[in-house]
Amino acid sequence: MAENPKKKFRQYSIDYLKFGFIATPTNQQLPFCLLCNQVFCNEGMNPSRIQFANRGSIDGMINKISTKNDDGLVASHNISLLIAKCGKPHTIDENLILPAIREAISTVMHQDASSVVRSIPLSNNLVSRRIEELAIDVEQQLCKVLQTTEFALQLDESTLRDNEALLMAYVRYIHNGVSKEEMLFSKPLETDTKGETIFMVVKQFCEEKNIPMGNIIACATDGAPSMIGRHRGFIVHLKRAVPKVFSIHCVIHRQYLIAKHLTPNLHQSLQIVITATNKIKKNSLNDRIFQQLCENNDEDYKRLLLHTEVRWLSKGNCLKRFHQLFDSIVGFLEEYDSTLAEKVKMIRTDVAYLADIFEKLNIVNKQLQGNNNTLIQAKGVVLSFLSKLTLFRQNIARREFG
């Protein structure tokens, strides 16, 4: 049958790109739809029809994909923030979080979780960058506030187990009528830990962040010579730069230093406890044998606890555990070190007293710490504890130990 010579054939136009069509690979004269993967016929190649058929679906697809990607980025940042707060490895997202999301969606919601998981970009390097971006943003916001706000500074220099000296700085300030406490920075001390070195670290940070040194109205430190030394301590250098700054010895450090001063008898008893604990804990075989002994004696606990001077609460926990396992410790030492066993037997009452008093000191330590604690509250806690000491003394005199 002969073709109708009057029929008009439309050809592909470059204008079809704005409607979501490209030239068909096999026939450059026909438009190919990017959404449905179909080639339009001659009747459907009218621009008005193409716009009517495809414009709404393209806009919907773009908006949907854009919204989905935005939600995935928000979820990625929020999950990275949770990982940073928990202090977990950055690989936990690929090893645990994403599989958990996939399992929850597929098991509880009975839906395909592939699209959701793909929309949340999480990887080890990506989470690291997210956390770094969040940290930089938080630091910038804090420094911007401190540029125009007076604040109190608290410094603490500590040595890590790899002999790395670390300087940590915290600030407390009032913003919009609300008292806030934030960590300002954590900087390694490359060489020495002298007062001048610490001051230069603080000064350099303030200069880099455009924070006026005059905005420091108070500074709290521990009793280390590098901090409060009369001639070369950090406070001396700070007062030269900010003459009106108010310096104070941290109340928690004061309480801790006082707790370290024991009578000679109690100090000797504490050293015996430490020696006995190290006798059991330093040797893995002794530790396993002691654990088996505790199981045979039906003890509530099976291991002793070590203490360190840096961790203030650990000494009280060590004494409490030692007192709870006292009979098992004596039984173990009688077989492996009879001389030490006799010394431990003689200090039973001292151990009970030390465990009790250090437990109460730990309670005070915990009450002195925490966010938004003020000097008035800390003083109230200390005065309350001093009042309780009188009551404790009276109870001991009446032999009331409950």
Residue 399, phi-psi category: left (phi > 0), alpha (psi -120 to 50), beta (remainder): left
- Cα dist from 309 to 42, 110, 158, 306, whole Å: 86, 54, 12, 10
170 alpha-carbon distance from chain centroid: 14
- What is the sign of the dihedral through the CA atoms of 91, 95, 97 and 102? positive
pLDDT tens, N- to C-terminus, the chain (402 residues)? 445 555 555 566 666 655 666 666 666 666 666 666 666 665 556 665 555 455 444 445 445 445 556 777 888 888 888 888 888 888 887 888 888 888 888 888 888 888 788 888 888 888 888 888 888 888 899 999 999 999 999 888 887 767 788 889 999 998 888 888 888 998 888 888 888 899 999 999 999 999 999 999 999 887 777 887 888 888 899 999 888 898 887 766 655 555 566 788 888 888 899 899 988 888 888 889 999 999 988 888 888 888 766 566 778 888 889 999 999 999 999 888 889 999 999 999 889 888 888 888 888 888 887 777 777 888 888 888 888 888 888 888 887 766
Enumerate the domain spans of the chain. 14-62, 68-129, 147-249, 259-397
DSSP 3-state of 215: helix
Find out whether 344 and 276 touch, Cβ atoms under 8 Å: yes
Beta strands at 246-249 and 216-221: parallel, antiparallel or unpaired: parallel
What does the alpha-carbon distance between residue 222 and residue 254 come to, in Å, rounded to a whole number?
Answer: 8
What does the alpha-carbon distance between residue 4 and residue 386 come to, in Å, rounded to a whole number?
Answer: 110
Neighbour-count burial of 231, counting CB atoms closer than 10 A to its CB (0-12 exposed, 13-18 middle, 19+ buried): exposed
Per DSSP, helices labelled H in 87-211 are 92, 98-108, 114-118, 124-146, 195-208
* Cβ within 8 Å of residue 254, ≥6 positions away: 223
DSSP for 98-110 reads HHHHHHHHHHHS-
The fold for domain 147-249 equals Nucleotidyltransferase; domain 5 (3.30.420)
* End-to-end Cα separation, the chain, in angstroms: 113
What does the alpha-carbon distance between residue 355 and residue 353 come to, in Å, rounded to a whole number?
Answer: 6
| Closest of 328, 358, 360, 320 to residue 344, by C-alpha | 328
| Closest of 297, 365, 375 to residue 331, by C-alpha | 297
pLDDT of residue 216: 92
Neighbour-count burial of 24, counting CB atoms closer than 10 A to its CB (0-12 exposed, 13-18 middle, 19+ buried): middle
pLDDT of residue 259: 56
pLDDT of residue 25: 66
pLDDT of residue 58: 47
What does the alpha-carbon distance between residue 69 and residue 374 come to, in Å, rounded to a whole number?
Answer: 45
DSSP 3-state of 58: helix
Find out whether 210 and 178 touch, Cβ atoms under 8 Å: no
57 alpha-carbon distance from chain centroid: 46
Q: What is the per-residue burial (b if ≥16 Cβ within 10 Å, else e) of 296-308?
A: eeeeeeeebbbbe
Which pTM value belongs to this model? 0.61
What does the alpha-carbon distance between residue 194 and residue 262 come to, in Å, rounded to a whole number?
Answer: 30
